[in-house]
Chain A
């Protein structure tokens, strides 16, 4: 108490200016420290930006990217050709949503665009990411890179963001390409809803390919050699695209066996089990979501019984309702991507990087 009063006295005795000075200095020091920290953070972020720029330039200059782009455009054109050649027949039976049919119609021998993308999208993602980290390691640039003042996650983030940007550009350009050629061919302008559905479809496609990109980055962190990670990625791709449905039906058959005297309940159980297992596959998730988005007549992604349909008025679902149906698919794909990302982070953060 006494000390308090003494100090107060001394303050009041001394002129106010030094005290003021002190205050300002204190504050300015605090500000300087804050600025320093902010500058540190912004410098760390500039590291991410520098990496992003470099990766983008690398992608755009690489022959690999050009090959993938050519492949995608070629398949787009082929599927579009198939769709247009079958368009008049399809329009004869159902003349609504002609624009969307450009994406979903398959030719007599050529699969539809959506099928093509579901099959080839993984390839794009894998190509962009399978050697992201391990090629840096084998070139001996990784330890030089991480001895720079950047956070380690910036390396993965930069690579993923660059890949994702490339994917987005690729997907948008092929969507625009199909739309433009389709309009020229058919001469029918799309309605706002059709444009919206096409946009959601492209968004789904981008997320789907980004999942494969993050998967391949995970493999590139885990595997020492680029070839190993490429093989792993391709193996998973083929498994999901071709064998997952077989596995699902075998597993469902084992869990809910159907014989000649099976009841309706058993058949339903079997089918539901099969669908749920199939949905573990990003390939199936994407295909299901896209067929719902691109076809307004699809009312549910699950099994529906004739009794449940009785009294229902046939009609189209609005875009909002369709999106609502596939919302779980989108979150599922995003969650899978996040899991792959988390795996890459954990794998990379604790990895000791030595020279090649």
Chain B
């Protein structure tokens, strides 16, 4: 997917990079296909006392991309977003957005970056429209542009009817949608959203996801979403970064991650057969290199170290079963995440129990 061509911001982003290239961003940021990252971090680290919240983060996000920053609570996602916005000072390392140093030029960064915080708040005794107007004024926009943009954005997020109610009366979903409008008031190139889907009903979630997708596809904005809700993010992200204990354990397209996972020897197969008796389960278990067989609803989930499709077909035919379902599970972020999480857990031996427990909760939240 070539994002650079349809992204209006790409040209200026490149110019911005050139300007700073002479100073301290000497490293060549262009990737193989010639794109300049709009968000770039080098060894970004944040420590609170002895606790490392974010450790040596190297991240490149390209214009027009929807990037998902995923991880359980306390993994360092919010800390990362705060450092990108210049709201928190990194202990070491650097971050650039659109060629601007996030620590040294926070004002310039905040001009191009919109931030939708976790559980966004509004002045409850002002109406939605007044809140947006205030944001517009803070950004130094002229009054006529503010009014025009407010109307457009309210229309876009579907809040036109509720615009003149006080925000104190808003529901959580409405606040979130107004938050999106608020972020867009400054016409940002980059939008950072912290847990945007938290506490929103399925219908609201679907609308929000659609809205986010449109922001990237139609307006060419770069979007960074931090979340622990894997399934929603999976639907819209171009690439994801998995965060565990302050470290980016994996980063890439979801199908790439799945592929690398399969290469490492994990294959997950969904299968069902007729007649559906215990014999089939035994057959599945008797296949070579099968780690586990689980019954989920009306099909089995078979985890194995390599692809067992061929063997399964042959054996079930011999045993007189008719396979009614056979599907390789591929783009399942939850699986990928579980896999990387286990790996990270093996690396740090200490505190394993605690981590595993937290992951259990996290896994449920994902579903």
Q: Which residues of A contact B (CB under 8 A)?
A: 40, 42-44, 46-47, 49-51, 53-54, 58, 61, 139-141, 143-151, 352-356
Contacts and interface: CB of A to CB of B under 8 A. Distances in A.
B82 A356 contact: no
A43 B137 CA distance: 9
B87 A149 contact: no
Contact of A355 (B108, B118, B125): B118
A144 B115 contact: yes
A27 to B, nearest CB: 19
Contact of A356 (B88, B121, B135, B182): B121
B120 A354 contact: no
A139 B139 contact: no
Given A54-B134, A140-B119, A140-B121, A146 B87 contact: yes
B186 A354 contact: no
B118 A352 contact: no
A352 B78 CA distance: 12
Contacts of A352: 82, 87-88
Nearest to A43: B140
Contact of A144 (B88, B111, B121): B121
B123 interface: yes
A140 B107 CA distance: 21
A149 B139 contact: yes
Contacts of B115: 143-144, 147
12 contacts: A46-B137, A47-B138, A47-B139, A50-B138, A61-B125, A141-B122, A144-B115, A147-B113, A148-B110, A148-B186, A149-B186, A355-B119
A50 B120 contact: no
A43 B123 contact: no
Identify the 8 closest CB pairs spanning chains A and B, nearest first.
A140-B121, A43-B140, A50-B137, A147-B115, A46-B140, A149-B110, A148-B138, A149-B111
A44 B182 CA distance: 18
A147 B121 contact: no
Nearest to A353: B87
Contacts of B124: 139
A57 to B, nearest CB: 9
Contacts of B134: 50, 54
A166 to B, nearest CB: 17
A47 B135 CA distance: 9
- Looking at B107, B113, B114, B118, the one whose CB has the most chain A CB atoms below 10 A away is B107
A64 to B, nearest CB: 12
Nearest to B115: A147
Given A43-B139, A140-B117, A147 B123 contact: no
Interface residues of B, number: 31
B194 interface: yes
B51 to A, nearest CB: 14
B39 to A, nearest CB: 15
Contacts of B97: none
A323 to B, nearest CB: 40
Contact of A139 (B87, B123, B186, B194): B123
A145 B126 CA distance: 15
Nearest to B48: A352
A147 B87 contact: yes
A39 to B, nearest CB: 8
B85 interface: yes
A43 B138 CA distance: 8
A355 B85 CA distance: 14
Contact of B107 (A49, A51, A149, A356): A149
Contacts of B139: 43, 47, 148-149
Nearest to B192: A147
Nearest to B185: A148
Given A141-B123, A149-B107, 13 more contacts: A44-B140, A47-B140, A50-B137, A58-B125, A140-B120, A143-B87, A144-B115, A144-B121, A144-B182, A147-B110, A149-B139, A149-B140, A354-B78
A47 B138 CA distance: 4
B138 A143 contact: no
Interface in B63-114: 78, 82, 85, 87-88, 107-108, 110-111, 113-114
A50 B186 CA distance: 15
A355 B194 contact: yes
Given A149-B186, A353-B87, A51 B121 contact: no
Nearest to B135: A148
A143 B118 CA distance: 10
Contact of B117 (A40, A50, A147): A147
B349 to A, nearest CB: 31
Contacts of B87: 143, 146-147, 352-353
Nearest to A51: B138
Contacts of B117: 140, 143-144, 147, 355
Contacts of B121: 139-141, 144, 356
A25 B281 CA distance: 79
Nearest to A46: B140
Contacts of B88: 352
Interface in B119-154: 119-125, 134-135, 137-140
A213 B8 CA distance: 48
B176 to A, nearest CB: 12
A90 to B, nearest CB: 47
A46 B140 CA distance: 6
- Looking at A139, A144, A151, the one whose CB has the most chain B CB atoms below 10 A away is A144
Given A40-B107, A139-B124, A141-B122, A150 B78 contact: no
A139 B122 CA distance: 7
A147 B117 CA distance: 9
